[in-house]
Amino acid sequence: MADEKITKEAIEKAKEALKNKTEDTSPEEIKKQVEEKPETQEEKRKERKERIAILNIYTTFNNTIMILTDMAGNTIAKFTGGQSTKQNRLKANPTIAMFIAQKISEEAKDNGITGFYVKIRASTGQNNPGPGAHAAIKSLTRSGFKILSIMDTTRVPRGGPKKKGGRRGRRV
């Protein structure tokens, strides 16, 4: 019972102090307090830690696949050209790659990601990535993400399996 009385008395005193404080404050002081709040919010935004993720882009001449993972390698989002278009011939198109990049950027913003390490991969043995890689990266930079580095992780064949044709080769 004694604890309840103390807390009730403390609450009443706090209410009276608030009433006195609001009566004494002029409209100018209230404006100053309101103006100070956005500054503190901006500071909080600056203090917010940057989250970095890894974006794997696999581009061939038939399709574009983008996989967003965190730094540990856990998949956050995965989008392909087939999810953006019904026409098979357009899956590797740069415009479709831009749509995929927009979906990836929405997922990244939802998860608070601000920057990417980009890994581009083409088909094994190809010299260049497919047509969607450049368009996807361009779209991501326009969305406001930092691209920290771009790596080419295309696999290079070293010898490979035996070619057909037998020991003496193909005879014409």
Measure the CA–CA gap between 13 and 116, rounded to whole angstroms. 53
**79 beta partners:** 66
pTM over 0.95: no
The domain of 79 spans 52-152
| Cβ 54 vs Cβ 70: under 8 Å | yes
pLDDT in tens, 143-157: 999 999 999 999 988
In a domain, 165, yes or no: no
In a domain, 98, yes or no: yes
- What is the count of structural domains for the chain? 1
Q: What is the distance, to the nearest Å, from the Cα of residue 58 to the centroid of all Cα atoms in its chain?
A: 17
pLDDT in tens, 72-131: 999 999 999 999 998 988 999 999 999 999 999 999 999 999 999 999 999 988 888 989
In a domain, 45, yes or no: no
In a domain, 164, yes or no: no
Domain of residue 72, CATH code? 3.30.420.80
